[in-house]
Structure 1
Amino acid sequence: MTNLLYVERSGSIATLVFNRVDKKNSFSLAMFKKLGEILNDLENDQQVKLLILKGADETAFSSGADITEFLENRFSAQKAKDYNDATLESIEKLYRFPKPTIALIKTLAIGGGLELANSCDFRFATSGSKLGITAANIGIIYNLVSTKRLVNLIGITKTKELLYTAKLITAEQGKEIGLIDYIYPMEEIEEKCHEFAHQIIRKSSVANNGIKQVIQAIIDGDNEETKQIEELILDSFSSDDYKEGIQAFLEKRKPNFT
């Protein structure tokens, strides 16, 4: 299992790598559970400022859940509930990961693979990559949480079209409807993704992690600041980042956030 999912580090950037290339990085139930454990570790790692998710090579980001397991792990209502609860728990951890996240999609992101990508803050894709949610091909009703996430990204009508038809669209088509943020050729995407990541990590993590929580509160339906959000904002004024930011401004230099 360690080899199927592993973490690479480059300074304060962690990259979670899907390494089941012979199966186009399809996720077994054990892999979904392991994903949750890795995310817990990275969340608590103070050295990590940003997380990138990607496939080990150009084969795929992920082709989704491993359907060959379904007859054993997902072939009755109770087994389906146990399976869904376990997988959605890890996907929800990714969605609510407290630090900025980027999905780096090469070639393919289908089903649960696209579900993982949609749980990230940003989606980079290689030119011509194929994207889709193919639940209708095997008679599965796509879950509400991930459907809502898709609606938030591309709207109701496009969500219905994508799910009803189970068709695959290109990264270019995905960008037109808001599913993909940036598209680059295969030979450029890693560099461009890391350039973008460095733009983020050079800024205050106190600010960016807090901004992520504020935006999430808005997505969750809050129209006014809760006590938790109010405290989060006020606490930032006593942070080391705030002191460094003010001092750098006064000294007319770039801040060095630690």
Structure 2
Amino acid sequence: MPGDVLLVRDDETGIATVTVSQPARLNAMTTAMWARLGEIFNTLSEDAALRCVILRGDGDRSFSAGADISEFEQTRADKEKARFYDTIVRPAMRSVAECTVPVVAAIAGHCRGGGFELAACADIRVAGESASFGVPTARLGLVLNFEDMQRVLDLVGPQNLKEILFEMAVVGSQRAYEMGFLNRVVADDAVMSEAQKSAERIASGAPLVQRWHKRFIAALVEHGDSSRVPASLKEEVHLAFDTADFREGRTAFLEKRPPVFKGR
């Protein structure tokens, strides 16, 4: 079966690297790849020792060109097949967006269609100067799913999303950065090194705090205002003060040394 999703876990740093791999087709995602992606991220979310995930495409030509169109006759030929396809792809996307630790997308080359939507699931996006972005679904006669549309909308706003969808625009990294889709743009040969540095910075922080902050930001986005966040979640803000990592952080600061966090 063509295509795969690969996982490499560094136990020393607590950083995992997930690679979508079908380089002959610019890392287009087959249904099996979507399913595997979901399995991997669901497993990673349960890993208490994990601190960060880097999500990348295989090689430097493409992050992902999106869904593998060669499958469409079998997977999306009509609305019933499309509904079933969504029962695989939507949970996979959600597993990335809701991963319990921060996810850094390392974007080289093509980032189109479902690949663009997948990158939107990450928390931080780093791209090479020559990367390109777009969602040309109108050329295929299909629409963007509401859930995926919401993630992109939250990043780029309605006017930029209209440009992307209505004009079927393919934009470069600088334009994607200006739209708010990217966190930073680097030289093409520095994408993975910059993503690794970002992951290492994240991993150096208190792991429980990084997980809490991810949940709290998601809650603020979901509810639109801090006054609407459930009281039970707000109360979790105080839990950090009972952790060993808080004691370590405080002690390390006073002793003028780097903290050594254990995630406890």
Aligned to 2:226: 223
Distance in 2 between the 1:19 and 1:36 partners? 15
Determine if the alignment matches structure 1 residue 17 to structure 2 residue 2. no
Deviates more, 1:179-188 or 1:24-33: 179-188
Determine if the alignment matches structure 1 residue 236 to structure 2 residue 240. yes
TM-score, normalisation: structure 2: 0.93
Distance in 1 between the 2:158 and 2:118 partners? 20
**Cα distance per residue 1:35-72 (max 9 Å; x no partner):** 11101111112232000001121121000001111111
Judge conservation of contact 1:127–1:184 (CA < 8 Å) in 2.
yes
Q: For 2:6, give the aligned amino acid.
A: Y
SS at match of 1:61: strand
Aligned to 2:66: 64
Q: For 2:4, give the aligned amino acid.
A: L
Distance in 1 between the 2:71 and 2:178 partners? 34
Q: For 2:7, give the aligned amino acid.
A: V
Determine if the alignment matches structure 1 residue 84 to structure 2 residue 86. yes
Aligned to 1:8: 8
Mind listing any 5+ residue stretches in structure 1 that lack a counterpart? none
TM superposition shift of 1:139: 0.7
TM superposition shift of 1:2: 10
Aligned pairs for 1:174-193 within 5 A: 174-193=176-195
Judge conservation of contact 1:123–1:180 (CA < 8 Å) in 2.
yes
Deviates more, 1:193-202 or 1:89-98: 193-202
Q: For 1:215, give the aligned amino acid.
A: I
**Cα distance per residue 1:208-240 (max 9 Å; x no partner):** 110111100011015334233134222222112
TM superposition shift of 1:142: 0.7
Aligned pairs for 1:137-156 within 5 A: 137-156=139-158
Distance in 2 between the 1:237 and 1:151 partners? 35
Aligned pairs for 1:53-132 within 5 A: 53-132=55-134
Select which of 50, 53, 58 maps to 1:51.
53
> Identity across aligned pairs (percent)?
28
SS at match of 2:199: helix
Q: For 2:68, give the aligned amino acid.
A: D
TM superposition shift of 1:141: 1.2
TM-score, normalisation: structure 1: 0.95
Q: For 1:159, give the aligned amino acid.
A: L
Distance in 1 between the 2:182 and 2:253 partners? 35
Distance in 2 between the 1:22 and 1:31 partners? 14
Determine if the alignment matches structure 1 residue 168 to structure 2 residue 189. no
Q: For 2:257, give the aligned amino acid.
A: R
Mind listing any 5+ residue stretches in structure 2 that lack a counterpart? none
TM superposition shift of 1:23: 1.0
Deviates more, 1:229-238 or 1:150-159: 229-238
Judge conservation of contact 2:130–2:188 (CA < 8 Å) in 1.
no
Q: For 1:233, give the aligned amino acid.
A: V
Judge conservation of contact 1:5–1:18 (CA < 8 Å) in 2.
yes
Structural RMSD (CA): 1.5
Distance in 1 between the 2:58 and 2:244 partners? 37
**Cα distance per residue 1:120-175 (max 9 Å; x no partner):** 00111111211001111111111111111111111101101101111211011101
Distance in 1 between the 2:154 and 2:77 partners? 30
Deviates more, 1:181-190 or 1:111-120: 181-190
